[in-house]
Amino acid sequence: MNGKINVTVWNEYRHELQHETCRKAYPQGIHVAVGEALLEDGAFDVNYAWLDKDAEHGLSQELLDKTDVLFWWGHMAHGEVKDEIVDRVQKRVQEGMGLVVLHSGHKSKIFMRMLGTTCNLKWREVGEKERIWNIEPAHPIAAGLPEHFELPHTEMYGERFDIPTPKDVVFITWYEGGEVFRSGVTFERGYGRIFYFAPGHETFPIFYDKNIRKVLVNAAKWAAPRIVREIPCPCVKPLEEIKTKLEE
């Protein structure tokens, strides 16, 4: 224990190995770009895990038990994530671990499991401009960010985004093509906090943008556990004597 927040960055890590354009944007993988943004801040210890790391996708119970916040980036192989690992992550989030889901992770098993909806949206991949509006400047995830900032090239994710009503909508995005999107939203499930952040397409260097990196750092701090506790379902004895009798 060194007082740092333990983050595990999970990346599917297939695009970067298979596609030259993604390898150019993220030579060491998206997970390393995200992890370096966190390490730069100094408040975190960072572990990396990916789909093909081992039989458990790098997410052993031991690692999860010491993980305060799990980041998740996936896209082309959501279906290959084993249900038993999804069960394991879900339980850990309910017990207090933070979960930060990035970009195409909106269709990951874990995100859909936590939210219970299709998480479908509109999309278009032409490299248009994105303007992200910080509509809750007092929210910890928006700390230090300007009222709005732009990404020169992005993948469009448009409404309607089929999610439950979020706890907070921190960011709203406008795209050059005219659509809008709730691009930064929070949820709570059990004792765990969840943040979804839309930017992060695999062919654009979005995770090197200084404002985006600030959001990642803020989100990891916000999502860190307040308590970690199992959630039982016990039959309990009364605290006071109960005088009410059932009628014969």
Q: By the criterion CB under 5 A, which residues form the site for Zn ion? A: 104, 155, 201
Pick the closer one to Zn ion by CB: 123 or 133. 123
What is d(CA 4, CA 119) in angstroms, rounded to the nearest whole number? 32
Closest-CB residue for Zn ion? 201
Q: What 3-state class would DSSP assign to 74?
A: coil
Q: Look at the block and give the residue holding tokens 């999309």.
A: 123
Q: Look at the block and give the residue holding tokens 């809750």.
A: 136
Residues 179, 198 contacting (CB under 8 angstroms)? no
**CB 155 → Zn ion: shortest distance, Å?**
4
Residues 185, 170 contacting (CB under 8 angstroms)? yes
Tokens of 141: 């995830």
Pick the closer one to Zn ion by CB: 12 or 155. 155
What is d(CA 154, CA 243) in angstroms, rounded to the nearest whole number? 66
**CB 157 → Zn ion: shortest distance, Å?**
8
Q: In 3D, which of 126, 125, 143, 123 has the Cα closest to residue 134?
A: 143
Pick the closer one to Zn ion by CB: 93 or 206. 206
Pick the closer one to Zn ion by CB: 126 or 180. 126
What residue type is 109 in one-letter code? K
**CB 206 → Zn ion: shortest distance, Å?**
10
Pick the closer one to Zn ion by CB: 109 or 201. 201
Q: Look at the block and give the residue holding tokens 């199992």.
A: 230
**CB 183 → Zn ion: shortest distance, Å?**
13
**CB 15 → Zn ion: shortest distance, Å?**
9
**CB 188 → Zn ion: shortest distance, Å?**
26
| DSSP H helical ranges for the chain | 15-18, 20-25, 30-41, 61-65, 83-94, 109-115, 210-223
Pick the closer one to Zn ion by CB: 15 or 193. 15
